[in-house]
Structure 1
Amino acid sequence: MQLNRFLYFADYVIYPLASAGLVAVSLLKTDPLRWEQAAIGFVCGLALWSLAEYVIHRFALHGPAFLAALHDVHHTDPRALVGSPLWLSLGSIFLGSLLPIWLAIGFATACAVTAGLMMGYIYFGLLHHVVHHHHIKRGTYLWRLKRRHALHHYGKTPCNFGVVTSLWDHVFGTFRPE
Structure 2
Amino acid sequence: MVAQDFKVDLNKALVFQVGHLGEAYQEWVHQPIVSQEGPRFFENEFWEFLTRTVWWAVPTIWLPVVCYFVSKSVRMGHTFPEIAVMVLFGILVWTLLEYTLHRFLFHIETKSYWGNTIHYLLHGCHHKHPMDGLRLVFPPTATAILCFPFYNMVKLMASPSVAPAMFGGGLLGYVMYDVTHYYLHHGQPSSEVPKKLKRYHLNHHFRIQDKGFGITSSLWDRVFGTLPQTKAAKKSR
TM-score, normalised via structure 2 length: 0.66
Would the aligned equivalents of 1:148 and 1:177 in 2 still touch at CA under 8 Å?
Answer: no
Cα deviation, 1:16-57, whole Å, max 9, x if unaligned, reads 10000111111113xx32323222111100111111110011
Cα deviation, 1:72-116, whole Å, max 9, x if unaligned, reads 1111111212133213223323322x2233245333211110111
Would the aligned equivalents of 1:93 and 1:114 in 2 still touch at CA under 8 Å?
Answer: no
- CA distance in structure 2 between the aligned counterparts of 1:55 and 1:104, rounded to whole angstroms: 18
Equivalent residue of 1:107, what SS?
A: coil
Unaligned runs of 5+ in 1: none
Structure having the higher helix fraction is 1
Q: How many residues align?
A: 173
How far off is 1:168 after superposition?
Answer: 0.7
Unaligned runs of 5+ in 2: 1-40, 42-47, 231-237
Q: 1:163 aligns with which of 191, 215, 221?
A: 215
Name the % identity.
Answer: 27
The residue type paired with residue 95 of structure 2 is S
**Structure 2 residue 87 is matched with structure 1 residue 46:** no
Equivalent residue of 1:20, what SS?
A: helix
How far off is 1:5 after superposition?
Answer: 4.1
Q: What residue number does 2:38 align with? A: none
Would the aligned equivalents of 1:42 and 1:116 in 2 still touch at CA under 8 Å?
Answer: yes
Q: What residue number does 1:62 align with? A: 107
- CA distance in structure 2 between the aligned counterparts of 1:86 and 1:101, rounded to whole angstroms: 20
**Structure 2 residue 143 is matched with structure 1 residue 89:** yes
- CA distance in structure 2 between the aligned counterparts of 1:94 and 1:5, rounded to whole angstroms: 21
**Structure 2 residue 56 is matched with structure 1 residue 4:** no
Q: 1:21 aligns with which of 68, 78, 99?
A: 68
How far off is 1:142 after superposition?
Answer: 1.2
- CA distance in structure 2 between the aligned counterparts of 1:145 and 1:21, rounded to whole angstroms: 31
Greater Rg by CA: 2
- CA distance in structure 1 between the aligned counterparts of 2:168 and 2:147, rounded to whole angstroms: 10
What's the Cα RMSD here?
2.1
Q: 2:131 aligns with which of 71, 79, 100?
A: 79
How far off is 1:129 after superposition?
Answer: 0.6
Cα deviation, 1:136-159, whole Å, max 9, x if unaligned, reads 33x621111111111100124511
- CA distance in structure 1 between the aligned counterparts of 2:82 and 2:109, rounded to whole angstroms: 38
